[in-house]
Structure 1
């Protein structure tokens, strides 16, 4: 075992189970350390583990949070076929299968390990448990017991750490676990803790000078293929290191369990400045005051000199600590909190030492929404304020002159009292048919894909349908399926980055795309074209499975294109009538160069000013109140041909481009809300199905004409603009 000059003891605060904590100055966790030396130490552990042919075996590396997540990431890079996962104390998604176990001696003992990829565990020839140090080894053995039944019978188990005690070494040997350590933690003599600890630093919150967003698709808490995760981290950190003007002393801070990217960025910056890396932590230790917090302590010296007590950016109700920060030229904070608490982030910036403070948010700029997180995860970039919403009279000429509709943000319609009344009447009349359609689609998805289904709704029209289907299955079967809402744009395709995000978490054959309704089938054809160009073979989808993957489930299919539908009738779907105020308060999706960066999801804007009018959950509740939970069968195949009828209408009315003909209740409503209509065709102007359309047409002064539609109840014809 190697020398121990980098190992020190610090006094724990308020922990009767354990007096001291081991502080490793080369770990870059509690102590601000040199990232190059830190990574070199972790690589030494990785090389030792990979000896004797172990590098070529199918491997699962499990790193204990918080302190070993970076060590585990570095170690995982030494194995050719490696699944890497960290334990966590954070809340996992409700769909994630996880096992719980306890960490011995900890102030926060409860841990979780996500085992959502059961095959990765079952096929592993070896499992490597990684921690910064083992005192007794009981935590690791608690986890192994919790994993009982998840691993192959002959799977070899290793316990690896930067340091460990002789007691843990013997405990592992007795349990049939092979220990691999770099240093002994026995006999480390630390300076006694101060009788009067130094007072905590006063923290004056400050806003960051700059916030940068990168859109990482991998999360080691959920498990990742090590090569993909490490490559993404390297790519982002290389780019960030090139963008950061660094000189003098630069402090890099990771947040709690998020350690590896901070360490890697520090190593990349080390060539042009003095870089020191450390992380905020839940571990409470007493400070002693005195020397420079960035200076390496002498042997036997007490390592912790200052402490800031902060709120966590993940959960402001939780207390965390930052040790040994001191004035420097620049601080760079990296966090993987999906929505960092603003006040807690300002506190962390205030505790940092940099004259300038930059923040890097690892998981993009998520779009606000009135949907609850447990109902939908919107894979959309927030572009609020970046693109001016345009009224239809300005937007329509641009579209007809060749500007793609996805580059323009339509101004949101603010419903009149009269229109709200028509919406409410329609909701009362058609809640039951909508609920029946949800039941039919949900039961079919469950029958065909079961608990492995992954709901992927097409924003925005598909999002409410996806929420209702998820809630139906959760209530009837007690299973919370993952539900993502992503962008698909005619002429641009599906959001590839969002697809990569989903496929980093779920098998491809579980995906079920969802939309609200069909018009003339443009989205259906766009989806198939996009998936044919996507490298699905990398995810186990061959030509034999492509047809099923391309199927969209819809509530209403008047175009006659979808097998998986609630009805082939042109049904009144209330969420088609009010746009954002019944669909989570976000816009249609946007893809515009300069607004959306290459690694970002497609974008949307949040209409917070419409919050007083928001009826998103009023709609959800009304449909659920009409829901029954019995069996259901798909309707027989459709007899009509919606696309052929659309072409007939275009020819009949002399419309030069079929794109200007929008059939179906949903599409006709959109024409009135977002475009410049020339004429509205209704099968029966007196039908309660289309009263809201008649009201909108009256408000906007648009002619309504009775017409013998076959597949549809309504059709909107967009005006050809004279000035184009």
Structure 2
């Protein structure tokens, strides 16, 4: 089955729970990065009437706390596959380091990252990542290319920014996406476009995106990049047909491919599992079990004018500035983590890249501390306290950034009492009273919390 996943508790996830109950199976396909589909994802159950299963990534750092160097290294590796496709060459040899990192071999995650971030000739491209899950992944792909402009879609309208385009993610529980570049000219550059998502299931979302963007700005070359490619032959044919229709080349790359084998009646079976467990026969969400721990706001000195991520665009010049300042920002967090053996850096929904890079820098500085990274999410997923299931615990709390689609519940998974300290990273728009009375109250019942607030680029500036 899938590789074991560290869940913030003492054990590993074998991935058998969903397969045993719903008869859902993962079948490996091609292995461009030397690992299979079942090494990169496992299965959980959604609270979603349109889709019963959730693929839980071992390298994304969304639902499962993960070594940030593995998360960033996997993103850079995907970018290396994109680079090879754009240059018409074979990808570099990472010597099986991804496989070694997935087995938690000492030093393998850092070695993977270090080998892939070594200076190389920049490749010009526009990279577009999908909110919310792939915002940091897309940014990592852009980093790997070196010369790329990066933008991710967003579900947060921002005053003063005109919408470039929008598209629908058909299977999502929250489907409105916006493109809000600060400088639309960057998005219109005469270069290939790379579209990045965590998984390529049918490809409909990305084809809708290409069709919409091509109507605004014609391009000769698109590359679709994902951690895993689950498309069948008909899906692949649709991508070729769209390329022929538009007169453009459309390529796809992934770290691994394969398929999810679903039995008949999977939606009904999944809903029945959720209903049974939520009736009190298995789900065990996190509950505060001890007095609140201290909550401290830490100013890491985020550089003025540096975007907090790719919501409004991120250029190679921004990237160079961030790389220069990261060590000093991480150092300002170190005193708050003295004496810790295990630290979680928790990002907030679309804000994934800045906390990822802070976590990665902390992991380098705190050599004797297990630093893990994950983020909060809108995705409602069933939590089951079972060693064979990935989502062991669930924190539920109200949205705290005044979302355009109104108030709603948000979640943090696998944030257990194993952590000696939690570093919560939010942008200024999410640093609200609702944060203090919601997520922070839940987190501080588990461990001392350091809050890092990053200026929300563009909000209040125009």
Q: 1:100 to 1:264 in 2, by over 3 A?
A: same
- Matched residue, 1:47: 80
Structure with the greater alpha carbon radius of gyration: 1
- Matched residue, 2:399: 312
Rounded Cα–Cα distance in structure 2 between residues aligned with 1:350 and 1:274: 24
Equivalent of residue 141 in structure 1, options 201, 207, 210: 207
Equivalent of residue 326 in structure 2, options 205, 212, 237: 237
- Matched residue, 2:423: 332
- The answer (yes or no) to whether the contact 2:148–2:316 under 8 Å persists in 1 is yes
Rounded Cα–Cα distance in structure 1 between residues aligned with 2:375 and 2:352: 7
Rounded Cα–Cα distance in structure 1 between residues aligned with 2:176 and 2:63: 21
Equivalences for residues 57-456 of structure 1 within 5 A: 57-151=123-217, 153-167=218-232, 168-176=235-243, 177-187=250-260, 195-196=276-277, 197-203=282-288, 209-213=295-299, 214-216=301-303, 217=305, 218-243=307-332, 244-245=334-335, 246=337, 247-270=340-363, 271-291=367-387, 301-315=388-402, 317-327=407-417, 328-338=419-429, 340-352=431-443, 355-363=447-455, 377=460
> Deviations for 1:544-582, whole angstroms, at most 9, x for unmatched residues?
xxxxxxxxxxxxxxxxxxxxxxxxxxxxxxxxxxxxxxx
| Deviation (angstroms), 1:59 | 0.8
| Deviation (angstroms), 1:260 | 1.2
- The answer (yes or no) to whether the contact 1:173–1:179 under 8 Å persists in 2 is no
| Deviation (angstroms), 1:226 | 3.2
| Deviation (angstroms), 1:220 | 3.9
> Deviations for 1:348-369, whole angstroms, at most 9, x for unmatched residues?
2233375210000011899xxx
Rounded Cα–Cα distance in structure 2 between residues aligned with 1:42 and 1:248: 26
| Deviation (angstroms), 1:313 | 2.4
Q: 1:169 to 1:160 in 2, by over 3 A?
A: farther
Q: 1:171 to 1:23 in 2, by over 3 A?
A: farther
Q: How many residues align?
A: 359
Give the unaligned 5+ runs of structure 2: 1-30, 88-120, 244-249, 264-268
Matched residue SS, 2:78:
helix
User: Of the two structures, which has the highest relative contact order with CA contacts closer than 8 Å and spacing of 6 or more?
Assistant: 2
Rounded Cα–Cα distance in structure 2 between residues aligned with 1:311 and 1:170: 42
Matched residue SS, 1:250:
strand
| Deviation (angstroms), 1:221 | 4.5
Equivalent of residue 46 in structure 2, options 12, 16, 19: 12
- The answer (yes or no) to whether the contact 1:118–1:150 under 8 Å persists in 2 is no
> Deviations for 1:7-30, whole angstroms, at most 9, x for unmatched residues?
1111110x2221111110221111
Pick which of 3-12 and 191-200 moved more. 191-200
- Matched residue, 1:28: 61
| Deviation (angstroms), 1:65 | 0.6
Equivalences for residues 460-539 of structure 1 within 5 A: 483=462
| Deviation (angstroms), 1:77 | 1.2
- The answer (yes or no) to whether the contact 1:169–1:179 under 8 Å persists in 2 is no
- The answer (yes or no) to whether the contact 1:254–1:334 under 8 Å persists in 2 is yes
- The answer (yes or no) to whether the contact 1:60–1:124 under 8 Å persists in 2 is no
> Deviations for 1:244-295, whole angstroms, at most 9, x for unmatched residues?
233300011000001112222222222241011110000000011134xxxx
Rounded Cα–Cα distance in structure 2 between residues aligned with 1:215 and 1:34: 23
Matched residue SS, 1:320:
strand
- The answer (yes or no) to whether the contact 1:237–1:261 under 8 Å persists in 2 is no
Rounded Cα–Cα distance in structure 2 between residues aligned with 1:206 and 1:240: 27
Q: CA RMSD in A?
A: 2.9
- The answer (yes or no) to whether the contact 1:89–1:112 under 8 Å persists in 2 is yes
- The answer (yes or no) to whether the contact 2:126–2:189 under 8 Å persists in 1 is no
Rounded Cα–Cα distance in structure 1 between residues aligned with 2:357 and 2:413: 20
| Deviation (angstroms), 1:66 | 0.7
Rounded Cα–Cα distance in structure 2 between residues aligned with 1:171 and 1:219: 36
Q: 1:339 to 1:122 in 2, by over 3 A?
A: closer
The alignment's TM-score, normalised by the length of structure 2, stands at: 0.71
Rounded Cα–Cα distance in structure 1 between residues aligned with 2:154 and 2:317: 20
Rounded Cα–Cα distance in structure 2 between residues aligned with 1:365 and 1:187: 39
Rounded Cα–Cα distance in structure 2 between residues aligned with 1:313 and 1:228: 31
- The answer (yes or no) to whether the contact 1:58–1:124 under 8 Å persists in 2 is no
Rounded Cα–Cα distance in structure 2 between residues aligned with 1:349 and 1:183: 37
Rounded Cα–Cα distance in structure 1 between residues aligned with 2:391 and 2:61: 13
| Deviation (angstroms), 1:105 | 0.5
| Deviation (angstroms), 1:149 | 3.4
Equivalences for residues 541-690 of structure 1 within 5 A: none
- Matched residue, 2:19: none
Matched residue SS, 1:198:
coil
- The answer (yes or no) to whether the contact 1:57–1:126 under 8 Å persists in 2 is no
The alignment's TM-score, normalised by the length of structure 1, stands at: 0.46
Q: 1:28 to 1:145 in 2, by over 3 A?
A: same
Give the unaligned 5+ runs of structure 1: 292-300, 367-372, 380-482, 484-724
- The answer (yes or no) to whether the contact 2:396–2:409 under 8 Å persists in 1 is yes
Rounded Cα–Cα distance in structure 2 between residues aligned with 1:279 and 1:339: 14
Q: 1:5 to 1:173 in 2, by over 3 A?
A: same
Rounded Cα–Cα distance in structure 1 between residues aligned with 2:180 and 2:457: 25
| Deviation (angstroms), 1:210 | 1.3
